[in-house]
Each structure stands twice: as structure tokens, then as C-alpha cells.
Amino acid sequence: MTMEIPNPTMPADSLVDLGWDPGWAAAFLPFDAAGLVPARVVAAHRDAWVVARPDVAPDASATVSGRFRHEAYGPGDFPAVGDWVAVAASTGDGSPTVIQAVLPRRTAFTRSAGEERVAGNLVAEQVLAANVDVAFVVAGMDGDFNLRRIERYLAVAWSGGATPVIVLNKADVAADADGLRVAAEAVAPGVEVLAISALQGDGVEPLRDAHLGRGRTAVVLGSSGVGKSTLVNALAGAERQRTAAVREDDSKGRHTTTHRELVRLPGGALLIDTPGIRSLGVAGASDGLDPAFADITELALACRFSDCRHAAEPGCAIAAALAAGTLSPDRLASHRKLEREAAHVARANDPLLRAEERRKWKAIHVSVNQHMRHKYGDDR
Ligand code: GDP
Ligand code: ZN
């Protein structure tokens, strides 16, 4: 790599529009020294990427370098939507962009990749979206309104490292929007709650003003039917329609049509909207449970025993809060359920834990068998 390729066609401003800030600039220094330029991943496919780079308009299809591929350990190391990457400066001849490195992610939304093996290694995680600042947790204020679901998506938002904002949608059909807002605030300590009607556009501007400033990166989470697409359309408007389809050449020179997954919104923010993010469940969001249930986490610190299981132990602060009515039994049950689900996923993905589980069950099995034999004899 030769040094010093001045790039007068890259206005620093357009990097800021993509979410660039002094922190990224600092992280990029070694790549800058190597003559590389920054770009942001706007679409990711199995083996092909689209990047926005200010020196090539509007977007460029990209591959990863042979060295990158060689050194990557698993899917989690490959570029994901929202990643900042280091690419070779444009030569101006339209040759494909080659990604040399991914800048360390600040945050990531991940999904367990099950038992997929890459080069013999079990791969736990696939990155669905990187470097997201804000996550809109959308719920509909209609017959489907469900606090437990809001708690779930809050855990997902926190686990992705994004600041959650609860968006109570369908205000136009809500019987008691204020009541639902108070209920949502109660399950989301410290989280902002906004009521909107994405369909009618009410409350969309305040949401944009408060959370979608220039260079901010957002995702929209929530169950099917709550109005995510309607909100995305209201936020992106014509922009989305115009940029949705990008024609790409894949690595074998075939034309494929791909959807841009990171969309620039009017007003300067960026929105990551992919099928993966849309269907992201709580599985694997265990890091998000503590912040999503900060009230319970804090109560548990006040239990007399540090290993209190909150099952009738003396001095249990959670039992006291239940008795006093300051903690709802539904919320506690919801926390337990999500913890079990997260633990289940952790076991399924961790070969060591899985082996340990198997040993444990085997031991239980043996002891049950011995017990039965003792009680009923061998011919039961
Ligand atoms: P998604 O599955 O979360 O993407 O939800 P959609 O955006 O597809 O919306 C599901 C349904 O709810 C559609 O029929 C929308 O028209 C409707 N919807 C979305 N937002 C609103 C709203 O603010 N008010 C009302 N009354 N309906 C809405
Ligand atoms: Zn306790």
C-alpha cells in the first residue's frame, strides 16, 4: 500500500452524514496511515457488500480482501450493515471496492447462528446491525397492546447497545392513550415513551426531531403488525422508494438486485431496516435483561442473601416489593421467563455448557433409575 493518496473528492461533511465522528476518526488513524479510506456498509449479503463511500457516488459494491477472508474467524468478523470499514482509495476506474478491515464495533445487534460451523469452529453469533445509536421499540395501542412484549423488545434494544425509545403507535385508535403510556413507563424505568400515529403522521416530527439528528443511526423493533413499516415509510418517505433497489454486480459478475439496508433519512439520520432486525427475538438478548429490568436487578441487590432466589427466603427484597405492591407479579414472571429463554439459548450455543447439561441430566437419569429399581425392582 503506497502512502499519501490525497483525496480531494472526499468532503469530510459527507462522512458526518454517514455517522462519522471524532471517535471513528481516531479509530481510523492506523488505516489512514496505510492510505485507506473509510466507508460505511449499507447492505450485506452472504459474500457481497454495498458500501457508501464519499468518494464514489452513490454507493459501491464491495468484496473483502483475500487476507481479510483468511484471517476471519467466523461470520461475526465479516462486515455487517452499519459497520465502518477501511477500503482502498478509489482509483477512479470503477473497479470494485475491496474491504481491508472492519473498525471495532461500538455496539452490535446479534443473533445466534445455531450450530453453524466455520472451519470446524462452532459459530455463536451473526451480526445483524452494527453501531446503532437508538432503537425504537414500537407497540400498537390497539387490541394487541402487551407490556410483556414491550419488556422483551427493550431487552433486545439494550442488548444491541442502542438507547431504546418506546413508540406507542396507533394513537388514532387508542381508547386510553394516556393510561397505556403510564403503563409502558412503569415497565421501562428511565426510557422515553412517545405516542404517535404513524398512519396519520401525528407525533412523527417530534420523534424525528428528538432522536433522528444528523448522523444518528436507528433501528425499528417490534412485533409484526405494530406499524413498523408504516413508521419507516413515514420517516423515510420518498427517499426510501428512491433508494430501495440498487443494482449490483456480484463477485461473479452477475447482476443482482439488492435492497439497501441502511437508508439515509431526510433530516440526516440513518435507519437500518432488514428482515433480520425485524424478526429479531429476545433469544440471545441476555445482556439486555439487566438494564430492561433495572428495578428488579436493583431490588435483588437488597436481598439479605446474595444468592437469593426470591423464593420465600428470609430478607428477600423482591418478596417485600411484591407484598408492598411496588413490583408487579406479572413483571417478575416476565423477567423470569426471559431469563429462562436466554439461558436456554446460551446452553444451545455453548458446547461446554451443553456437555455439562448432558452430564447433569445423565446423572439425574441414573439416580432416578436407581431409585426406581430400589423401589420397584428390576422388572418394573
Ligand atoms: P409491521 O408489521 O410492524 O411492519 O406493521 P405495518 O406497518 O405493516 O402495519 C400493520 C397494520 O397496522 C397496517 O394495516 C397499518 O395500516 C396499520 N397501522 C400502522 N400504523 C398505524 C396507525 O398509526 N394507526 C392505525 N390505525 N393503524 C396503523
Ligand atoms: Zn430475594
Q: Is the pTM of this model over 0.85?
A: no
Q: Nearest C-alpha to atom 18 of ligand 1 is from which residue? A: 227
Considering only 76-85, 189-198, 330-339, 371-380, which range has the smallest mean pLDDT?
Answer: 371-380
> How confident is the model over 31-84, as pLDDT tens digits?
999 999 999 999 998 889 999 987 676 788 899 999 999 998 888 899 999 999
Q: Nearest C-alpha to atom 11 of ligand 1 is from which residue? A: 225
In this structure, which ligand is nearest to the CA of 201? 1
Task: Give the SS3 label for residue 160.
Answer: coil
Instruction: Report whether pLDDT(116) > 60.
Output: no
Confidence (pLDDT) at 343: 78
Confidence (pLDDT) at 1: 36
Q: What integer is the mean pLDDT of 176-190? A: 94
Task: Give the SS3 label for residue 51.
Answer: strand
Q: Nearest C-alpha to atom 25 of ligand 1 is from which residue? A: 170
Indicate the helix (H) or strand (E) that contains 27. Answer: helix 22-33
Strands 217-221, 134-140: pairing kind: parallel
Positive or negative, the CA dihedral 99, 100, 105, 109 is positive
State the closest ligand 1 atom to the C-alpha of 231, by its place in the atom list counted from 1.
Answer: 7
In this structure, which ligand is nearest to the CA of 299? 2
The side-by-side arrangement of strands in the sheet containing 217-221 is: 192-195, 163-169, 134-140, 217-221, 270-272, 262-264
Residue 205, C-beta contacts closer than 8 angstroms, at least 6 positions apart:
none
State the closest ligand 1 atom to the C-alpha of 222, by its place in the atom list counted from 1.
Answer: 3
Tell me how far apart the alpha carbons of residues 366 and 259 are, in angstroms, rounded to a whole number.
54
**What separation in Å is there between the alpha carbon of 306 and the centre of ligand 2?**
8
305 Ramachandran zone, left/alpha/beta (phi>0; psi -120 to 50): beta
**What separation in Å is there between the alpha carbon of 155 and the centre of ligand 1?**
23
Q: What integer is the mean pLDDT of 327-356? A: 78
The residue among 193, 135, 152, 191 whose CA lies nearest residue 169 is 193
Indicate the pLDDT class of residue 125, thresholds 50, 70 and 90.
Answer: confident
Tell me how far apart the alpha carbons of residues 262 and 276 are, in angstroms, rounded to a whole number.
13
Q: Which residue matches cell numbers 415509510?
A: 233
Confidence (pLDDT) at 378: 58
Instruction: Report whether pLDDT(288) > 70.
Output: yes
Indicate the pLDDT class of residue 96, thresholds 50, 70 and 90.
Answer: confident
Pocket perturbation via mutation, ligand 1, pick of 142, 199, 232 by most ligand atoms within 8 A of CB: 199
In CATH, what number does 127-273 get?
3.40.50.300
State the closest ligand 1 atom to the C-alpha of 224, by its place in the atom list counted from 1.
Answer: 2
Going from N- to C-terminal start, the domains of the chain cover 12-104, 127-273, 286-369
Q: Nearest C-alpha to atom 10 of ligand 1 is from which residue? A: 225
State the closest ligand 1 atom to the C-alpha of 200, by its place in the atom list counted from 1.
Answer: 23
Q: Which residue matches cell numbers 471496492?
A: 97
Q: What integer is the mean pLDDT of 123-138? A: 89
Mean pLDDT of the chain: 83
User: Residue 359 corresponds to which cell in the numbers above?
Assistant: 452430564
**What separation in Å is there between the alpha carbon of 330 and the centre of ligand 2?**
16
Tell me how far apart the alpha carbons of residues 110 and 152 are, in angstroms, rounded to a whole number.
15
**What separation in Å is there between the alpha carbon of 336 and the centre of ligand 2?**
13
The residue ranking higher by pLDDT, 103 or 123, is: 103
**How big is the CA angle at 226 (ends 224 and 232), to the nearest 5 degrees?**
95
**What separation in Å is there between the alpha carbon of 41 and the centre of ligand 1?**
29
Q: Which residue matches cell numbers 446474595?
A: 306
Contacts by 59-65 with C-beta closer than 8 Å and gap 24+? 59/246, 59/260, 60/96, 60/97, 61/96, 61/97, 61/248, 61/249, 61/250, 62/87, 62/96, 62/97, 62/98, 62/99, 63/96, 63/97, 63/98, 63/99, 63/251, 64/98, 64/99, 65/98, 65/99, 65/100
Tell me how far apart the alpha carbons of residues 50 and 32 are, in angstroms, rounded to a whole number.
21
294 vs 221, 309, 332, 340, CA distance in Å? 20, 17, 12, 17
The residue ranking higher by pLDDT, 354 or 125, is: 125
Q: What integer is the mean pLDDT of 350-373? A: 58
**What separation in Å is there between the alpha carbon of 183 and the centre of ligand 2?**
25
Interhelix angle for 204-211 vs 228-236, to 10°? 70
Indicate the pLDDT class of residue 259, thresholds 50, 70 and 90.
Answer: low
Confidence (pLDDT) at 128: 92
**What separation in Å is there between the alpha carbon of 287 and the centre of ligand 2?**
21
**What separation in Å is there between the alpha carbon of 313 and the centre of ligand 2?**
7
In this structure, which ligand is nearest to the CA of 141? 1
Per DSSP (E only), the strands in 215-332 are: 217-221, 245-249, 255-259, 262-264, 270-272
In CATH, what number does 12-104 get?
2.40.50.140
In this structure, which ligand is nearest to the CA of 327? 2
Indicate the pLDDT class of residue 144, thresholds 50, 70 and 90.
Answer: confident
The residue among 320, 332, 325 whose CA lies nearest residue 295 is 332
User: Residue 31 corresponds to which cell in the numbers above?
Assistant: 488505516
Pocket perturbation via mutation, ligand 1, pick of 230, 233, 273 by most ligand atoms within 8 A of CB: 230
β-strand partners of 101: 86
Confidence (pLDDT) at 356: 59
From 1.10.240.10, 1.10.3720.10, 1.10.40.50, 1.10.4160.10, which CATH number describes the 286-369 domain? 1.10.40.50
**What separation in Å is there between the alpha carbon of 146 and the centre of ligand 1?**
16
Instruction: Report whether pLDDT(295) > 80.
Output: yes
Q: What residues flank ligand 1, with Cβ below 6 Å? A: 169-170, 172-173, 197-199, 222, 224-230
> How confident is the model over 21-32, as pLDDT tens digits?
999 999 999 999
In this structure, which ligand is nearest to the CA of 196? 1
Tell me how far apart the alpha carbons of residues 243 and 233 are, in angstroms, rounded to a whole number.
12
**How big is the CA angle at 347 (ends 342 and 351), to the nearest 5 degrees?**
150
The most confident of 59-73, 161-175, 255-269, by mean pLDDT: 161-175
277 Ramachandran zone, left/alpha/beta (phi>0; psi -120 to 50): alpha
